[in-house]
Structure formats: C-alpha cells, structure tokens
C-alpha cells in the first residue's frame, strides 16, 4: 500500500483525514461513463479540494482522467502550478488587477464577468507580449457572478476584439438543479446564446454548465464539458444516482479518556445533556475548530467498535463527548467521525441533514491543518 503525508510538521496524529485515491479514480470513471466520449471533465478542487487537501487530490483527479482543473482563487491555482501540475486550470473567482501578471505568468485561465476586467487583463498581457486566456461567465438565474444574458453577446464581441486576450470558454451555473422547471429555463437561456452564435457563424469556445446533479439529471446540459466537484468526492443528491460513487474521505479520532457518571450528572458546557441513568462517556479530542459542527451537539453519532455512539453535550472548540454505555472501548480506541466500519457508516450527507447544511460544507470545513493521509485501498 502506497502512503504519503501532507503537512508532516503537524504533530497530532490522533485526528486525521484519510483519502482513498482509488475512490477518486473510480468516481472520475463513473462520470466518464455518463457523458459522451468527446465531452471533457472539469474537476473542481476549490476550498482545499472540498477539504480533501488541494495538491495531492488535484493531482489524483487529473491523473484519473479529468481534462481541466478548476479552483476558486488564483492562490489555489498557483499552488497547483508550484506543485508541478500542468493541467489547464480555471480560476472561477475574481482576480484583482494587481494579480494579473501572476495569472499570466502561471498560465491560469481567468473567469471574467465584466468588460473592464477583460480590458485591463488585455493591457497587462500586451505589456508582457503574451496572451491571457479567459472564460466568460453568464448569469442565467443564479444572480451571482456573470454577464446578464441580455448584455452577453455585445460584451462577447467586444472582448473577442481585444488584443492579447483569447476566449477559451464560457459557462453558467445552475441555481437549483432540483427544480426541473427553473433549470430548464436556465438551459434555454444558454441554448439561445448558442443559437445566436450559430446564426452569426461564430464558433463558440468550450461551453460548460453542469455540476454533479445536473450532469446526472439533465444530459442536455453537458455541452462541451461538465464541471463537477461533489461527485468526484463520492456524494450526490440526485435521484438518478444509483450508488455508483464511492466516498473518498474518512475522518477519525481517538478516545482520550473514559468517564463514568451517575444519574442526573451533566455533560459539557451549559449542561445541555443530563444523564437519565448512570452512563459511560468517551472524551474525544475533536471539536468545532477541527471542523465538527457545533450544531451536531446531542444529535450526531460516531462509530466506536463498529457501533453508533451519540454525541452528548455541546461540541467544544477542541473536544466532543459521546455516550458509549454498553460499548466495549477504552482510551486510545479509534473513533470514526466520517466513514464506515462493519455494516454501518456515518457520511457527510447524514451529518449535513442533522446540521441543516449540505455535504459540501461538512467536507470543506475540515481543518486544513489536520494531517491528510493518501493511499490506495
């Protein structure tokens, strides 16, 4: 089994994140089977690769067959270049004009959603006697970044006429892929733009719109490329997902102490848990500063000896407690916060429902200083 570690200077090996590189490769292949052979895969690695660790995870996604990588920030994109990753990279977020030189030097594609940015980027590229690549974002209903559909064609023509700027792609983003009618409306707006291109004999650049759920639910949204993140990491909330994806990440800790408490005794801050009977409590050195949501207090389970143990009391900054009454365990035993043991599992979807969020946030909030161990199962 091949193993290597990220952030070796981090001394605490009680808490760790394990990444299954084979699962990444498997999930990329799942997507390949759901798209046409000429359709490209853009692997999204923003937010520290959804908490999985930016560099090694991005390398695994690219090696597994992704054609392009997408970060949010320029800093993330540059980190990939410094890490010797030569894949095409799109920075999906805004880039300050003061960073344009670095953007061009490291051969990163910028996402542009206003003409002024494209113009300034063109001037910087001209000063360097180089080309700057841009991917134009269209707002079809998210009302976040992007050209409005009504202003897009005019701006496309203006940007296309700039010297030292090459438009390599255009994209949009679904606001709610669960809502079929709204999503079809967004698709129609994109299709209308492409129809205008066709009427005016303009060859469009690479077009991409579908994230994980849209890729699975709306094949007509695949266009030239799919831009997927969550599915690569093993999760999907699509009704058309048949369990093909494999979870990539496992999060574990250890029991630091066992405490025996009597009936009526409280546990934790504000005494939100009072024992109804005598109980056996495991103290675990993992808290909300490590990425475990405080809103999971008195709701979520961990796995100890393959059995579920309920979190009791408020999750602390660095510690949480679990009721292990009836479970054979001792200090030093493994605690699975996200993962599978025996016939049971606790995954990011389960925790997201209990915390009132989505699996994206559960994963991306895991402290980047926790050691990541990468291996092939």
- Residues serving a catalytic function are 46, 269
- Length of the chain (residues): 377
Per the rule left: phi > 0, alpha: psi between -120 and 50, beta: everything else, 120 is alpha
Beta strand 147-148 pairing with 132-139 = parallel
Q: Which residues pair with 344 in a beta bridge?
A: 341
Q: Are 297 and 340 in contact (CB under 8 A)?
A: no
What's the CA gap between 303 and 343, in Å, rounded?
Answer: 11
Q: Are strands 132-139 and 109-112 parallel, antiparallel or unpaired?
A: parallel
Separation between Cα atoms, residue 91 and residue 45, nearest integer Å: 10
Q: 8 near 372, Cβ under 8 Å?
A: no
Helix axes 149-160, 180-199, angle to 10 degrees: 40
Token pair in block for residue 17: 């994140």
* Distance from the Cα of residue 71 to its chain's centroid: 10
Q: Is the sign of the CA dihedral 337, 215, 190, 167 positive or negative?
A: positive
> How far is Cα 94 from Cα 72, in angstroms, rounded to an integer?
8
Closest CA to 117 of 93, 140, 141: 93
């Amino acid at each position: 089994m091949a193993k290597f570690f990220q952030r070796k200077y981090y001394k605490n090996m009680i808490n760790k994140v394990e990444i299954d590189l084979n699962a990444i490769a498997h999930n990329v292949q799942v997507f390949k089977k759901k798209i046409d052979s000429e359709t490209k895969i853009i692997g999204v690695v923003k937010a520290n690769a959804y908490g999985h660790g930016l560099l090694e995870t991005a390398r695994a996604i690219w090696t597994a067959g992704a054609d392009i990588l997408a970060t949010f920030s320029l800093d993330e994109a540059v980190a990939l270049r410094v890490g010797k990753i030569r894949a095409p990279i799109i920075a999906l977020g805004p880039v300050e004009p003061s960073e344009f030189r670095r953007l061009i030097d490291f051969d990163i594609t910028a996402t542009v959603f206003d003409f002024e940015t494209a113009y300034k980027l063109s001037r910087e590229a001209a000063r360097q006697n180089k080309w700057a690549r841009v991917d134009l974002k269209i707002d079809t209903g998210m009302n976040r970044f992007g050209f409005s559909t009504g202003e897009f064609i005019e701006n496309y023509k203006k940007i296309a006429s700039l010297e030292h700027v090459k438009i390599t792609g255009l994209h949009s983003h679904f606001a709610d892929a669960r809502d079929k009618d709204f999503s079809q409306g967004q698709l129609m707006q994109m299709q209308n733009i492409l129809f205008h291109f066709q009427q005016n004999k303009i060859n469009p650049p690479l077009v991409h719109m579908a994230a994980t759920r849209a890729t699975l639910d709306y094949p007509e949204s695949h266009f030239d490329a799919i831009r997927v993140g969550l599915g690569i990491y093993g999760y999907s909330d699509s009704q058309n997902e048949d369990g093909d994806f494999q979870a990539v990440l496992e999060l574990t800790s250890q029991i630091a102490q066992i405490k025996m408490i009597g009936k009526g005794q409280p546990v934790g801050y504000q005494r939100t848990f009072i024992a109804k009977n005598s109980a056996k409590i495991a103290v675990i050195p993992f808290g909300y500063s490590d990425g475990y949501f405080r809103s999971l207090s008195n709701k979520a389970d961990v796995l100890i000896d393959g059995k579920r143990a309920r979190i009791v009391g408020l999750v602390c900054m660095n510690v949480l407690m679990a009721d292990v009454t009836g479970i054979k365990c001792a200090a030093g035993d493994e605690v699975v916060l996200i993962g599978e043991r025996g016939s049971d599992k606790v995954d990011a979807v389960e925790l997201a429902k209990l915390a009132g969020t989505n699996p994206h946030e559960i994963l991306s909030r895991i402290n980047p200083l926790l050691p990541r161990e990468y291996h092939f199962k």
